[in-house]
Structure 1
């Protein structure tokens, strides 16, 4: 378990499906464009439970690591840092992240990312981590920059949102 201030960071467990569903549901509108897969797989509590069961298999296979951020004062999930697109040949991975809108702007995401990175480097010896961020998402860009990620480039027309808009993505990398 990773802890800071009054927050814990743990890998998502199947028995936490309801709390995970609640987090996604509260933030669904703002997550649908860049967390489309997660949003689509958590429409109902039953869907979320099935998704959490699938996630456990992916964790066992070391192909996906979803770290949930819990506010210990309220015992609620407030954010997610997911480690995906893992390439063990390098080894490298992509980080995705979001925080509940009620917790944004407090530095929680930046601190959580920092601590998850430490754990990933210590446990898995990743040589590179990257973040793909919508070029207009200033909050996520700032989180990447605060965590010493460097802009490697902007890929134009790289992603189609669920609303059908084609957007540019900034690629940020950090070498270890």
Structure 2
């Protein structure tokens, strides 16, 4: 029975050693998890710092863009007058009102000349109107929008603007 007591003591010692080894493994796993958590928190703080820097940079760029637009608008003039001549409607063509090119001329990009119907020295009399920009009958909506896009952007930046359209459609 001494042998069985000795075997029991050896078994108990083995179990205790196994239990210490298991506890040691658990501590090692816990330490590894803690190190991973600390590393993850460090990376999160680094990414948050980069995000904050990016936000500050974006805010600075927005302000620079806003000021640049304000400067562009100031250089172009706070009040601009543009003219868009619409193409003749089908009903006008059918009514025999003539071609719009016969009445409205665009001698320069910022000038509209309209034939008044009279003549002087064998040449038709023209009434000239100057604008900051003229759009002829062949102009597309995209071209007109490109002209007013800076105004739209400045409104989005908090400035006041007015786009006024007048005439027959």
Structure 2 length as normaliser, TM-score?
A: 0.21
- Which protein has the larger Cα radius of gyration, Structure 1 or Structure 2? 2
Structure having the higher strand fraction is: 1
Scaled by the length of structure 1, the TM-score of the pair is 0.21
